[in-house]
Structure 1
Amino acid sequence: MSLLWTPFLPLAIVLSSLIPGLLIFTLREEQQRTRVALNLVGVVLKLLLVVVMLAGVAQGFTFRFQVPFLPGVPLILQGDALSLQFVSLSSLLWLATTIYAIGYFRGSPLQSRFFGYFSLCVSATVGLALAGNLVTFLLFYELLTLATFPLVVHKGTAAALDAGRRYLAYTMGGGTLTLMGVALLHSVAATPDFTAGGYLAPLLGEVDVSLTLAFALLIAGLGVKAALVPLHGWLPRAMVAPAPVSALLHAVAVVKAGAFGIIRVVYDVYGVETVAALELTRPLLYLAGFTIVYGSLMALRQRDIKKRLAFSTVSQVSYITLGVALLGPVAAVGALAHLVHQGLMKVTLFYCAGSFAETCGVHQVQEMDGLGRRMPLTMVAFTLAALGMIGIPPLAGFISKWYLGWGALAVDEPWVLVVLVVSGILNAAYFLPMIYRGWFAASKTGECARTEAPAMLLWPTLFTAALVVLVGVFAAFDLSPLAWAQLIVDREFGL
């Protein structure tokens, strides 16, 4: 592996979507082929670069790009095992969502604007994933807010604009809190690189109040995008956005950015021993447990399909925070695996919801009667992803929950098992009726003009649904998300 180009690999991964996105903004609406080509070239190039980096990180290589930014604080893009878990998910699902979005928006106006911001959103996501210090993370974290706002309001309706204002108010407020936390930490510890095990341990006993306040500010700021209760109010409203945007928000970009930021703060800024010594994660653990149950209860009340899925996200993403807050290596494996598993399951569900709406005009749960006979392949994908969310073995969700439950017992927190069981029952309570309606209820409406979703909507859906099965069935294999999560934990905990 050449040392001449290796340091620039993280930058190239960011630029592979940034440059096509900027070029797409210059295209006229009728330049469909050029727009598609730029999208696909960018995503294929990004995937190839990520595969190279994955191979290098697995062998112990370090990928680092650094330029001066603020006095004493460089801008750093760095490829490590943790960043690659998130970047791989983002890149793979960008490919699937790009194909889905091309089919979804065929014949629609303002495609250059949409796909331009779509690419900027992915660039910001991989940038924060590859960030090598808190200031770099903060920069891309705020860029993500600016890139996703136009996607939320893309339809331009009154409901979309209202959702956009709420989204901007929440995320800018969260960004302000994050900035305050980063500034406070910088004042007491400067801004070193992210370090496995954290870098704040030498300050214990000297500035404990500042460390505690900074942690609270960071978690509150990141908790907005991670949709922790009571900071989740923007997420259900944002469901007025087009289906590809919903898929991006829930599975790849915004909520995952918040959860990933919490992972970085706990493991690579503070470190497990420091947060344990300061007793910082106990409130976070309880908040994550409450959010899991609350999100599931609210999902049970929703009749709109996308809103039900939105509250499901509020619940499911908090599994990641729960696993991190348990501070044990087994629970950490479950949390890091769920970062990928939840993304695969949730993106599949939103693809299906978009296909139901676009193909058959189905938006409400009660309108799903007979969908399995009209759109059998899409309904199969929905069923697999929903069963995975419930935690049915051997699907992806079961693997995550198994490790979270095992990890809770390993650190003597058996009450977490109650949270997981209650959440699983509630998941079944709001997903199984949807599956039943789709396969077994008699249709109350006329037949669709089509018997299945268009190919460009269907194939990405089947692809991600297949991954929901494969990452569960082959969880023990070396290349699985679970195995990579174990690699991360071994390095973070020094095992």
Structure 2
Amino acid sequence: LTIIYFCYLFGFAKAAVMPMHAWLPAAMVAPTPVSALLHAVAVVKMGVFCVLRVVFHVFGAGLVGGLGLGIATAYIVSFTILMASIYALTRDDLKARLAYSTVSQLSYVVLGAVLLSPVAMVGGIIHIAAHAFSKITLFFCAGSIYCASGKRNISDMAGIGRRLPWTMGAFFVGSLSMIGVPPAAGFISKWYLALGSAEAGQTPFLIVLLISSVLNAAYFLPISYVAFFGTEAREWPATVREIPMLTIPLVATAILSVLMGIFPDYFLALAERIVR
């Protein structure tokens, strides 16, 4: 049963649990709308959804706990959370940084499930939606920046926020959600994950959540700071400006991310029904 369980865990490679994660950063070379679909909604969420179905229904929380698989998996995904965040810190390419962030954030979902605490399970399920709204915003922003300026590297984006205020404002909102700052959606899921870790008596994983949030801040906030307050190497040309057809969707998803954080009851009710 243990072998079968880990075949499931790593076989659903779309969940990007290390070492089965290499495909995800490589997929960021796709056009931005495709990257957004891969990294925020369809593909990766199907991976973690399948892992959750294995934990909740194929094996069941009782069997996973009885075999000690929950704690073993929690340590594996905690390693993924921290290492992927460290990788993200080292990437100058904006989409590559977002890709490694996705690797890290997906393991939050699995961590919530395998802690086997009802509160943590709810947090893991909620993080599927919270991450979707926030990460699709961030990828849309990356696409808007590239279409407006042709820039992909963060080091080349000093001062671009003064030319693309709506894009970089939405990016900042998405970043706050990924870090877990209220009232963005990411705060709700991370709050439940932290409470669930405490409820399960698993302090090491609570520490992992706190460290990872600090790492999230370390690789997201400098992007917004450079964009709004960085000194431009040269004056941005007049052609670098907001493109309405690109800006409207990313502002809409950023607003949805905040609305989910303010009004989470619908998502919480769905998650609690699954846990029951």
Q: Shorter-chain-normalised TM-score: which range?
A: over 0.9
Equivalent of residue 2 in structure 2, options 212, 215, 218? 212
* Residue correspondence of structure 1 range 410-429 to structure 2 within 5 A: 410-429=199-218
2: distance between equivalents of 1:336 and 1:352? 25
2: distance between equivalents of 1:357 and 1:291? 29
Equivalent of residue 267 in structure 1, options 53, 56, 60? 56
1:229 equivalent in structure 2: 18
1: distance between equivalents of 2:228 and 2:177? 17
2: distance between equivalents of 1:251 and 1:483? 22
1: distance between equivalents of 2:259 and 2:69? 37
2:244 equivalent in structure 1: 455
2: distance between equivalents of 1:448 and 1:483? 49
Instruction: Give aligned pairs, total.
Output: 276
Give per-residue Cα distances to partners, 1:31-62, cap 9 Å, x unaligned. Answer: xxxxxxxxxxxxxxxxxxxxxxxxxxxxxxxx
**How far off its partner does 1:220 sit?**
1.3
Question: Superposition RMSD on alpha carbons, in Å?
Answer: 1.2
AA of the residue aligned to 1:243: T
1:280 equivalent in structure 2: 69
Equivalent of residue 301 in structure 1, options 53, 74, 90? 90
**How far off its partner does 1:488 sit?**
2.1
2:28 equivalent in structure 1: 239
2: distance between equivalents of 1:483 and 1:380? 30
- The 3-state SS of whatever aligns with 1:250 is helix
2:269 equivalent in structure 1: 483
1:6 equivalent in structure 2: none
* Residue correspondence of structure 1 range 309-458 to structure 2 within 5 A: 309-450=98-239, 452-458=241-247
Q: Is residue 376–residue 452 contact of structure 1 (8 Å, CA) maintained in 2?
A: no
2: distance between equivalents of 1:279 and 1:394? 36
> Scaled by the length of structure 1, what TM-score is found?
0.55
Q: Is residue 377–residue 452 contact of structure 1 (8 Å, CA) maintained in 2?
A: no
**How far off its partner does 1:212 sit?**
2.2
**RCO greater where, 1 or 2, for CA within 8 Å and sep 6 or more?**
2
AA of the residue aligned to 2:216: N
Give per-residue Cα distances to partners, 1:202-231, cap 9 Å, x unaligned. Answer: xxxxxxxxx222212111101x21111111
**How far off its partner does 1:390 sit?**
1.0
AA of the residue aligned to 1:212: T
User: Would the alpha carbon gap of residues 483 and 453 (structure 1) be closer, same or farther in structure 2, given more than 3 Å must change?
Assistant: farther
* Residue correspondence of structure 1 range 148-187 to structure 2 within 5 A: none
**How far off its partner does 1:451 sit?**
5.2
1: distance between equivalents of 2:30 and 2:237? 24
Give per-residue Cα distances to partners, 1:364-420, cap 9 Å, x unaligned. Answer: 011121111101101110000011111111211111111000001111101111101
> Scaled by the length of structure 2, what TM-score is found?
0.96
1: distance between equivalents of 2:51 and 2:238? 46
User: Would the alpha carbon gap of residues 246 and 394 (structure 1) be closer, same or farther in structure 2, given more than 3 Å must change?
Assistant: same
Q: Is residue 163–residue 242 contact of structure 2 (8 Å, CA) maintained in 1?
A: no
Higher helix share: 2
2: distance between equivalents of 1:431 and 1:217? 34
**How far off its partner does 1:255 sit?**
1.4
- Rg larger in 1 or in 2? 1
2: distance between equivalents of 1:271 and 1:448? 58
**How far off its partner does 1:449 sit?**
4.0
**How far off its partner does 1:435 sit?**
0.9
Equivalent of residue 467 in structure 1, options 242, 256, 260? 256
**How far off its partner does 1:452 sit?**
3.5
AA of the residue aligned to 2:185: A
Identity of paired residues, percent? 48
**How far off its partner does 1:447 sit?**
2.0
